[in-house]
Amino acid sequence: MTPPDGSFAVLTVARDDLAGLMATRDSLRAQSWQGFAWIIADGGSADGTADWLRAHAGEMAWWRSAPDSGPHGGPYGGMNRALDAARALGCRHALFLNAGDRLAGADTAALLRDAIGRHGDAALLYGDALERLGDGRILSKPARSHRRAALGMFTHHQAMIYRLDTPGSPRFDERFAIAADYAFTLAALERGAAVRLPVPVCVFAPGGLSQRNAAQGRREQSLIRRDMLGHGRAHESLLRGAQWAIMTLRRLFPKAYATWRFRQPATLFLS
């Protein structure tokens, strides 16, 4: 019951990060199963990324390099372009693995293929993430239950596999510069079942938009919850306060945060 080659896509967005794109490519080339479609949307990079993509076009099912759209010029325009390409190619499931992110191990793509075969009707599959800390350690960050989605993202976006052929063909809401992935995930949960996978999916590259602009991300998440989940102002004030406290703990007391949120070193998963 495994899906045919090409029905599972890895979608990568990049902008001025050729080194990160190379790290992602190395991870994908190391996979024991190569039947996925690699789709790349580059945001009009000026660092040679477009030239590299042109020279290596045979490695990808689809690629484009163009300035990101939307009012913020962020990555979600590229993600929408990648989504459109995946659907046009007939891909039924997709994982977003942005430039710099990696799959957790050499067998991860095969594990995801098998999981899709078992749970092909689920709207969302998700697993744990590996995260590189400032001291160089790579630890496992366990996913929370999707039933706690009202509190925020329950695992890294790069550890979620979305089914693409559900009714409505949702897209990322480009009004949000940081938290459009949260709205996209809530919409997926509205369309069908979610299944937790007992494996790490990705190695998350730190320093992304959500980490650099955490306060704006919390504000956008609050707006999304009020719109999609019907939260009131008082509810959101309490929740945003709790999120701020957790981020402050991580910034001021990183060792205490790591003890609370992460599991044992997980370098054995790396490809």
- Provide the residue ranges of all domains of the chain, joining segments of one domain with +: 8-207+263-269
CA dihedral sign, ordered 210, 214, 220, 225: positive
H helices, E strands: number in the chain? 9, 9
Instruction: Of 62, 87, 97, 91, give the one whose Cα is nearest residue 4.
Output: 91
Strand, helix or coil for residue 173? coil
- One-letter amino acid of 268: L
Q: For residues 163 and 91, is the Cβ–Cβ distance under 8 A?
A: no
Distance CA 216, CA 248 (A): 15
Instruction: Report the alpha-carbon distance of residue 168 to residue 183 in Å, rounded.
Output: 14
- Give the pLDDT confidence score for residue 268 in this predicted structure: 42
Domain 8-207+263-269: CATH superfamily is Spore Coat Polysaccharide Biosynthesis Protein SpsA; Chain A (3.90.550.10)
Give every residue of the chain whose pLDDT is below 50, as ranges: 1-2, 266-271
**In contact, 97 and 86? CB cutoff 8 Å:** no
The answer to whether 176 touches 224, Cβ cutoff 8 Å, is: yes
- Confidence (pLDDT) at 1: 39
Report the pLDDT value the prediction gives residue 271, as an integer from 0 to 100.
38
What is the widest separation between alpha-carbon atoms in the chain? 54
What distance in Å separates the CA atoms of residue 202 and residue 129, rounded to the nearest whole number? 5
Hey, how many other C-beta atoms are within 10 angstroms of the C-beta on 256? 11
pLDDT score, position 267: 44
Return the pLDDT at 258.
72
The tokens for 254 are: 């990183």
Rounded to whole angstroms, the Cα distance separating 220 from 254 reads 25
Supply the DSSP symbol for 136.
S
Helices marked H in 30-72: 49-55
Q: Tell me which DSSP letter residue 227 carries.
A: H
Looking at residue 203, what is its pLDDT? 94
Phi-psi region of 221 (alpha: psi -120 to 50; beta: other; left: phi over 0): alpha
CA nearest neighbour of 45 among 26, 19, 17, 71: 17
Distances (CA, A) of 164 to 28, 123, 181: 21, 8, 15
pLDDT of 259? 76
Q: Are 80 and 181 in contact (CB under 8 A)?
A: no
Distance of CA 53 to the CA centre of its chain: 21
The whole-number pLDDT of residue 70 equals 66
Backbone angles phi, psi at 75, to 5 degrees: -80, -10
Q: How far is CA 213 from the centre of its chain?
A: 17
How far CA 90 is from CA of 4, 82, 119, 126, in Å, comes to 11, 12, 18, 21
